[in-house]
A and B are shown apart, each in its own frame.
Chain A
Amino acid sequence: MSTYDFKLPDIGEGLHEAEIVKWLVKEGDRVKENDSIVEVQTDKAVVEISAPVSGEIEKLGGEEGTAIKVGEVLVRFAGISDERAQGASAEEVELPTPPEEIEVSAAAGEGPLKKNKTERILAAPSVRKAARDAGVDLREVSPTGKGGKILAKDLQQYLDSGKEQEKQERKDEQEAAAKAADQKEIFSSGEDQVEKITGTRKMIFEKMTKAQQNAVMCTGMDEIDVSSLVQMRKTLIPNAEQYQTKLTYLPFIIKAVTHTLKRYPIFNASVDEENMAICYHQDIHIGVATATENGLLVPVIKHADKKSILEIAREIEGLTQKARDRKLKATELAGSTFTISNTGSQGGWYATPIINYPEVAIMGIHKIKKQAIVVDDEIQIGHMMGMSLTFDHRIIDGEPSGRFMHSVKELLEKPELLILEAK
């Protein structure tokens, strides 16, 4: 046996309180379910309320003539059969509490909420997004648009000038170094050269620091026998040439990676630390880390999974050309969901690439070299390529990264599979 609190229900349509007009029972009375217990007056009507359970009236919720709010206890019943009490509480509807009256302070709308008008920046959403992706504070960009608006080309100008400045600074540095060397000859000690970190270098600096400070990076490595791929590419080069396209290994590798990302979506994700969440991206946009004379750039192949190898090849060619000519738009440098770092033929055999934060993994691909390999217990010459995969160990374990590498390896060792899975 237990007690049951019967709270005043909303018996009008949007009632907040009711006045107790007349009690039809007193404390100590025994009542049956659906027996009338009280008359109350609402804004709309005088109504009789009956008991939702059978039991003894332990306590009345108020004197006649007093008001009682919806959700307050109208009657407490005792001696309820446990089963019924349970049933009763289970069916109890969560009543919306009327909103508390909010105190409106006279100062509302003033104070810290008010922004300094001089800080107002005029720019289209597309420009704001590009600036955010490039890590540029728009307040530093000089506007040329109508009414002081920052245009896409202003942002571009700003980014390019950073590169210019950097170049100039590098030149200065070299000159200073040469000068220092000259001075060394006569063994006089020179002053250390201080170079400001700005522009693209500053962006790279900040991004790298952020990645290092936030992600817990772990790198796995493997080598891939790309002999078949070498052969396949050779056969396809003339076909690609018909489309005036230069066919490198990279498009094949990108394709293998997009297939693998679909198999293991955790690698096509980013970390949202503020909300402690992993954001799985629906689209696959591959960033291609490229070394240029202006520093490290990561142009992006959007929707790489939906493009053919030929289309990717053409796009890479276009982006590389633009990178060289410094014509890359900010939008072409933003939005990647997974990055591939190509260390090129001058690079080493393995590396520990740094994640393009907040992405969760980056793949390094390295030079292809001929090497003696064992095939069916015989020594052969194979074309071997080094591969490294750095992943954010906070959200990806070692085992899935092994599977990821295995998948890429399988697709590149037997590139016909790409045809099998092509869409």
Chain B
Amino acid sequence: MTMMNIVQAINQALKSEMEKDDRVILLGEDIGKNGGVFRATDQLFEQFGEKRVVDTPIAESAIIGAAVGMAARGLRPVAEIQFMGFIYEAMDQMAAQAARLRFRSGGTQTAPMVVRAPYGGGIRAPELHSDSLESAFAHSPGLKVVMPSSPYDAKGLLIAAMRDPDPVLFLEPMKLYRAFQEEVPEEDYEIEIGKANRLREGEDLTIITWGPPVHTVKAVAEAWWKEKGVSIEVIDLRTVAPLDMETIIASVEKTEHVIIVHEAVKTGGVGAEIAALISEKALYSLSAPILRVTGFDTPYPTAMVEEEWLPNEKRINEAITAVLDE
């Protein structure tokens, strides 16, 4: 066990998998000599050389499109999109190409590849650097979308993603990259994609969340227990596509009250999908409306208002009061 932060955990996952499997190739902008703008690929260029850690021209569509071609021909590319907001450039290659290759080739071609992208707000970044766009990809059958919230999860999920037979979009919360450290095993291990993590058990209310808000929600849940004796169950989804239906439904049946917290904008978000799922499978367990605490339906705002725009403690507390008051 070593104490490490998310960037270090990601770096170690890439390194250990590249040592084991020479089909793994990294490609992206500034990931070579520079080690990535967040240093996620630090020292990998030095260790594995320019054939395996490739600095590409600035062309998101080509990075992902070429990765599709590589993966179909037996390699295991890990592409980096420098900031998730830039992935719009490559929307076709993600949603219409990587996602569908298995289907549109009748199973004769596959694209086992990982696309890594930093995302999320709270770091006063320029426009299109902070957006959470997971729902667009959760809406593309064929893709898996993984969103770790801790160093331990980041390493285990990234290794699982690199070994997955299907394309995985691996989203890295920028705000948490260096926010804290935790014990992470030195050896490699996998965390199953598609399984949520019940971070905290509770009886009165379930909060479902993923990515950066996980930590806010955890703190809020602890406070409600200490101050008011309200017991809140916290589920960190870890993967937003495919959703872990069992864990969600089991929890809702137990607590009968649900809040969903995500940074992405509200309308058409993954939270809406979860709410629909609950209404299909556990409506009669509900004792109150399902509430969502999310980003607002605007472009990600400028730095001066982002803290208020994001789901913060105040907004989560208000939602809890409203749900329990039902």
Contacts and interface: CB of A to CB of B under 8 A. Distances in A.
A, B co-complexed: yes
The SS class assigned to the B binding surface is loop
Interface in A139-168: 145-146, 149, 152
B325 A124 contact: no
A129 interface: yes
Assign chain B's interface to a size class. Answer: under 10
Contact of A129 (B284, B288, B325, B326): B284
B275 to A, nearest CB: 13
Which applies to chain A's interface (DSSP): helix, strand, loop or mixed? Answer: helix
A125 B325 contact: no
A306 to B, nearest CB: 13
Nearest to A126: B287
Contacts of B60: none
A387 interface: no
A414 to B, nearest CB: 35
Contacts of A124: 286-288, 326
B277 interface: no
A409 interface: no
Interface in B257-299: 283-288
B233 interface: no
A128 interface: yes
Q: Which of B284, B285, B286 has the most CB of A within 10 A?
A: B284
A145 B325 CA distance: 9
A129 B286 CA distance: 10
Interface in B4-51: none
A145 B256 CA distance: 17
Contacts of B325: 146
A127 interface: yes
B159 to A, nearest CB: 33
Contacts of B284: 125-126, 128-129
A149 B288 CA distance: 11
A146 B285 CA distance: 20
Contact of B285 (A126, A145, A149): A126
Contacts of B286: 124-126
Interface string B310-326: 00000000000000011
Contacts of A125: 283-287
B279 to A, nearest CB: 8
Contacts of A152: 287
A127 B288 CA distance: 10
Interface of B: 256, 283-288, 325-326
6 contacts: A124-B286, A125-B287, A128-B284, A129-B284, A145-B326, A146-B325
The 7 A-B pairs at the shortest CB distance, nearest first, are namely A129-B284, A124-B287, A125-B283, A126-B287, A125-B286, A125-B284, A126-B285
